[in-house]
Structure 1
Amino acid sequence: MSTTTPQTPESEGPPRSPRLIQNESTTEIPVHLLFRDEPDAASVPLKPAVVARRHGTGEQPRLRHPAPRPVPEPDPGLAERPARVLPGTVGVAAGTCGLAGCLATSWWAGVLPPVLLETLTVPASSGTGLGPAQWAAYTGAAALGLVGFGGLARGRTGRAWVLGLFGRYRGTVRRTGLMWVNPLLLRRRVDVRLRHWRSEPMPAADASGVALRVSVLVVWRVRDTARAVLGVEDHEAYLRECVEAALARVPVEMPGEGSVATAGETLTRLVAAESAPVGLEVFSVQPVRVEYAPEVAAAMHRRRIAALDARHRASVLTSVVDSVEDTVTRLTMRGLVELDDYERKALVKDLTVAFCSGRGETSA
């Protein structure tokens, strides 16, 4: 009895492979959509794919660079400019003229005291007293004297005046000597000398996050008086806050454990950048005293002592091993002794004990 194998029709083609994903769903795509030759077909813009973190795969998300911090910028039109002042001789002359006018008006009215008449060697006037004309002359002469003497000011080296009128900036005076300034202007004195400030202990941290207390020495000066006085409420307090903020971002190492100069350069760069918009010029910010915070001081001191002791023991052990090796090598190479393995081990042991004891007594 012969068995007949069923033949596959040629129209069916080769058998399909089984699905690799059992729950997949597919849709047939018409062939005319795969090959489109229409020139007027509008292209569909494709957006860049966004790769996010896939849960369970261990893939880390892409790191995004933080946005740059905004730089504080005061009023753009606020910048130092020289104020208009006159030499001090002008004020002295105006004040003298006003005083002379008051004396002349008193003589004209006949109210000048006899003592002044004798002192000035002038004849007595037959004035009829103070009338409207005399009072007007008094007012003009007194106003001239007050404006002349009231506007006198003395400029000093290293000091400047910031002038304002009814809340408006009118200029800065950096001149020295006697000068005349409009007495209606509000004057604010600013120290423009090179100054240094040593801070009180401020909170900081090292590269490992250990709490520290750091005192820094800041060398600075006022470069733009208008921005320093009018652009910020208190430029000295602003500088202190900038230093404290920089210490919170820059790790500082204890002396002997890291480079303090690197921390100083970073602090100087940060504080100078933060202080420049308000007219301050910072030359140096250097840590002068670094110590552990009170809450971790005892533990960190014990840790440092233990590390120093371990380092000392390691150096002593290294020197002892080198000395033992040198001694055994010399004895063997010169033929003074012939040692087998047991005798060599015993000699090494005795020499190690002897050298360690000697080093211990020397250290004590």
Structure 2
Amino acid sequence: MSHAIVETPARSTNGYLMAGAGFGLVAFAFFVLTRAGNPLLAGAFFLLGVALLAGLYMLAPNQAAALTVFGRYNGSDREAGLRWANPLAFKRKISLRARNLNAPILKVNDARGNPIEISAVVVWQVRDSAQALFQVDDYEAYVRVQAEAAIRHLATSYAYDDGEDLPHNAITLRSGQDEVARALITELQARFADAGVEVLDAKISHLAYAPEIAQVMLRRQQAEAIISARQKIVHGAVSMVEAALKGLSEREIVHLDDERKAAMVSNLLVVLCSDKDTQPIVNAGTLYS
């Protein structure tokens, strides 16, 4: 970028005193004109009073005025109320209040290449009035464009959700919301620095798979959930069978050979792992004719 312009305090003063002086000079000019009959002297006092009044401007709380004289930046005034500065200075006001940017929903590819929809809400405010007004052409448009670029870059840096191809405890857009928000704030601040804008907060407001793959990904998530549940069921069933065999052996309730143990294990696993109610078959003995 070109030579950076940073905010400096402007030379200004209390506007109420200067307003009183200006109106006093105008009134004195009419007095000279009517009593002394000297139009030249009256005109001089009148022009001086008007010049003083031309330097007045009003600032609201959390508002600044950047002063330029013949295209040269002469500082910024942040004092609220009626102020006065050089009458030849052009006063360009700018708001220093916090603002919300609700970014549009963007369709991008995540780190895996899956198309997703993502959006974010950014809270920002002008930190340096000189940079915001003179370092970029339109600081509000600059913030919008850079915010969209940062969100796109964020989406391509992380996967949407966990998967087998990701390392354990990897940060994803869905599970690592706090870490992702911090990364978004850091990138936004780096992009907004040239415009004198500070990021106060940023959060993802919308996150979803793109419509064309949403149903496929939903079935994938359901399949992963079923597999995970089955793994827990099998692990629990094996533990229960092991405990049953150990209890029978320790209490000497029944002595089973390896073949009968295998049959018992098979039957117990079928009962414990089945997703439907099982119907027991009672062996009542053999009927001889």
TM range (shorter): 0.7 to 0.9
SS state at 2:211 partner = coil
2:179 pairs with 1:252: no
SS at 1:295 equivalent: helix
One-letter amino acid of the counterpart of residue 280, structure 1: V
2:255 is equivalent to residue 338 of structure 1:
yes
2:26/2:50 contact within 8 Å kept: no
Alignment of 1:121-200 (within 5 A): 133-134=38-39, 136-137=40-41, 139-200=43-104
2:3 counterpart SS class? coil
Instruction: Write the letter of the residue equivalent to 1:224.
Output: D
- Within the alignment, does 1:98 sit opposite 2:3 as a pair? no
Which residue does the alignment assign to 1:218? 122
Inter-partner Cα distance in structure 2 for 1:178 and 1:298: 61
What SS class does the counterpart of residue 220 from structure 1 fall into? strand
Q: What is the Cα deviation at residue 284 of structure 1?
A: 4.2
Match of 1:310 in 2: 227
Whether the aligned pair in 1 keeps the contact of 2:67 and 2:92 (CA below 8 Å) is yes
Superposition misfits of 4+ residues, deviation over 4 angstroms: 255-258
Show CA shifts across 1:41-69 (max 9, x none): xxxxxxxxxxxxxxxxxxxxxxxxxxxxx
Distance in 2 (alpha carbons) for counterparts of 1:242 and 1:79:
21
Q: Distance in 2 between matches of 1:191 and 1:305?
A: 50
CA distance in 2, matches of 1:155, 1:262: 39
* 1:63-96 deviation per Cα after TM superposition (whole angstroms, max 9, x unaligned): xxxxxxxxxx3423x2211111121133222332
Name the CA shift for 1:360/1:283 in 2 (closer, same or farther; >3 Å): farther
- Secondary structure, counterpart of 2:264 in structure 1: helix
- Name structure 1 gaps, 5 residues minimum: 1-72, 110-126, 128-132
Question: How many positions carry a matched residue from both structures?
Answer: 264
Q: Do the aligned partners of residues 280 and 349 (structure 1) sit closer, same or farther apart at CA in structure 2, a change above 3 Å counting? A: same
Identity of aligned residues (%): 31
Q: Residue 301 of structure 1 aligns to which amino acid in structure 2?
A: L
**Paired position in structure 1 for 2:16:** 89
Aligned mates of 2:109, 2:177 — CA distance in 1: 13
1:81 and 1:108 map into 2 onto residues whose CA distance is: 47
Cα 1:303–1:255, aligned 2, differ >3 Å: closer, same or farther?
A: closer
SS in 1 for 2:212: coil
- Does residue 12 of structure 2 align to residue 75 of structure 1? no
Counterpart among 182, 185, 204 of residue 268 in structure 1 = 185
Whether the 8 Å contact between 1:81 and 1:171 is mirrored in structure 2 is: yes
TM-score by length of 1: 0.64
Report which structure shows greater RCO (CA 8 Å, sep ≥6).
2
Query: Quick check: which one's helix share is greater?
Result: 2
Q: Deviations over 1:108-134 (max 9, x none)?
A: 49xxxxxxxxxxxxxxxxx8xxxxx43
Q: Tell me what 1:323 maps to.
A: 240
